[in-house]
Structure 1
Amino acid sequence: MDHRSHSITTLAALTGVLAYLTPIGWVLAFVIHIIRKEEYPAFHLRQAGGIYLTLAILLFLSTIPYLGFLLWLLGLILCFFLWVVGFMGAVQSYRTIIPYFGPYFQSWFNISRLLGGYSDED
């Protein structure tokens, strides 16, 4: 599901891109989001955060002898693909749900109720 976000601010667009750059970029984007509370960066924070969490789980699973390395390698390739899809969507100011995992990341990491300030009904 792609749809262009025409009404986003420049800061929101940059925050969405920043969330994908590195885990440190994600933390900075999260801090900006706490201050500005806009839905567009929250969307990309959930997507990128889910990818980074998946990478952390894969890193943990990589400690399993033999099988762990195979899981890590396949998961790394998958996460790279998901990262490219999400990052390209953010660069183009789209809300691109990453394949398969995106809807789960959107529901699991929905913190808008805690932060308040906007509605996720978009």
Structure 2
Amino acid sequence: MRSLEINGNLDSKRKLVMTLYWINRKTATIEGCAPFLIQRIKTERTTHVAEDGKFLKFSEGVLGDVLTDMDELKMVEFDINFGNEDIKASIHEDILSVSLSRTKELEDEIIEKLKYESERKYPHVCSKFYRRLGIN
């Protein structure tokens, strides 16, 4: 597991989307066109689980739950499947952590990219990725 402290002025929503975007983008270099499936999101209040083989989308309730916990500096955990790779990510206070089941060296690449992007005033995230997550 690799971790990074994010010190920028990023709001919780931007931090969330940036994290998931770069996990997706960097893992795609290994897993190609396999589906990026968020299987579980655990907040302090509840655990949101996707239906089998489906992508857990950020409905208004799920997004609100996640952003509230992030704003209150509480732990939010994500279980993601991308092809043959199982990814665990968490955001707690200003610490972001990523763990991959198979390709450990990719953890460093993801953390390095997130460090770079978090230092920018406007981190790069494809605008279509918001819709893919179900965020309007």
Structure number with bigger Rg: 1
Q: Do both share a fold (TM > 0.5)?
A: no
More strand per residue: 1 or 2?
2
Shorter-chain TM band: 0.3 to 0.5
State the TM-score, normalizing by the size of structure 1.
0.34
